Amino acid sequence: MPKGKKAAAKGGKSAKGKGKDDKEKPKKEYKHDNLTPEQIASIKETFDKFDKQDIDGIPALELINVLRQLQLTPTSPEVTEVLEKMHANSAECVVTFEEFLDIYWDFSQRVISEEQVKDAFKILDKEGKGEITVETLRQFLTTTGDMLDEDEFEAMIEEADLEGTGVINYEEFVTIMSIE
pLDDT at residue number 146: 62
Task: Please list, in sequence order, all residues whose beta carbon lies within 8 angstroms of the beta carbon of residue 68, skipping any fewer than 6 positions away.
Answer: 74, 155
pLDDT tens per residue across span 56-102: 999 998 999 999 888 887 888 888 899 998 887 677 889 999 999 99
pLDDT at residue number 46: 94
* Helices of type H across the chain: 37-50, 63-69, 76-86, 97-108, 114-124, 134-143, 150-160, 170-176
pLDDT tens per residue across span 108-138: 887 666 777 788 888 889 889 989 988 888 8
Q: Decide: pTM greater than 0.75.
A: no
How far apart CA 118 and CA 81 sit, in angstroms, is 29
Output the average pLDDT for the chain: 77
Q: Which domains does the chain possess?
A: 31-108 (1.10.238.10), 114-176 (1.10.238.10)
